[in-house]
């Protein structure tokens, strides 16, 4: 009797060529590649100071701050930085999204469940008094992802209009395995407005849920 044939090994998925995110109106994208970074920053600065000709010092200060921030993000593996320019009355809602490609030092892809377990263990080792991050695994259109929500105490005044004294910034991270690779795509959302943290976290979740891989 002829023994049954072993099933052919499944072919791993080909790595995607790119990804696509849907962001609400009022978010500005800064490309972090050095060859394109300054052009993106200059476009944002010109937009913010459109019609304002009597504040050259503030204009150059903003340009310098954005270039330093973009360069730092690029050194950490950042691909794109999105900044919220959404306004409520006279105030801009401060929020950001940093997209980072994080290669992992593993021969095989690390399952999201294992990554979530490691992140939760790291959270247990943090100093007493530090808010414990919320770590979970969620299913998105782009695949299984690890979601981490953090509350980080920040000294001093917060955003314009916030009360003086200590405040906390809120961040939401999504770790998504890149198909066909051992790398993860990391989406890091943050806002210094703790009073509206839940509403902002809902927005961040919606943006992360819109991510799709493209061929």
| Helix pair 34-48, 56-75: axis angle to 10 deg | 150
Choose among 170, 91, 73: nearest CA to 82.
Answer: 73
For each of the domains in the chain, give its residue range(s) and CATH number, in order of start: 18-214 (3.40.1000.10)
Q: In the prediction, which pLDDT does 159 show?
A: 44
Q: In the prediction, which pLDDT does 163 show?
A: 45
Is the CB of residue 207 less than 8 Å from the CB of residue 22? yes
Structure tokens at 140: 């998105």
What pLDDT tens digit does each residue of the chain (215 aa) get? 555 555 555 566 788 999 999 999 999 999 999 999 999 999 999 998 988 888 889 999 999 999 999 999 999 999 999 999 988 777 888 999 999 998 877 778 899 999 999 999 887 766 656 778 999 999 999 999 999 999 877 655 444 444 444 577 899 999 999 999 999 999 999 999 888 888 999 999 999 999 999 98
Choose among 111, 85, 80, 86: nearest CA to 187.
Answer: 80
Structure tokens at 211: 């991510």
Q: In the prediction, which pLDDT does 156 show?
A: 54
pTM of the model: 0.84
What spatial distance separates the first Cα and last Cα of the chain, rounded to whole Å?
45
List, in order, residues 6 or more apart from 91 with CB less than 8 Å away.
159, 160, 161
């Amino acid at each position: 009797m002829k023994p049954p044939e072993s099933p052919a090994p499944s072919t791993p998925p080909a790595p995607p060529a790119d990804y696509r995110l849907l962001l609400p109106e009022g978010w500005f994208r800064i490309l972090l590649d050095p060859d394109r970074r300054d052009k993106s920053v200059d476009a944002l600065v010109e937009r913010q100071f459109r019609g304002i000709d009597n504040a050259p010092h503030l204009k150059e200060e903003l340009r310098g701050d954005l270039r330093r921030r973009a360069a730092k993000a690029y050194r950490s593996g950042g691909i794109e930085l999105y900044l919220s320019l959404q306004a409520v009355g006279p105030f801009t809602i401060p929020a950001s999204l940093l997209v980072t490609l994080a290669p992992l030092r593993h021969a095989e892809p690390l399952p999201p469940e294992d990554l979530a377990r490691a992140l939760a263990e790291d959270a247990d080792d943090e100093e007493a008094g530090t808010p414990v991050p919320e770590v979970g695994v969620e299913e998105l259109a782009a695949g299984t992802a690890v979601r981490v929500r953090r509350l980080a105490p920040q000294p001093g005044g917060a955003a314009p209009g916030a009360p003086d004294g200590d405040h906390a910034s809120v961040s939401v991270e999504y770790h998504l395995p890149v198909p066909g690779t051992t790398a993860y795509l990391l989406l890091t959302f943050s806002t210094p407005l703790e009073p509206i943290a839940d509403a902002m976290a809902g927005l961040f979740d919606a943006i992360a849920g819109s991510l799709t891989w493209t061929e």
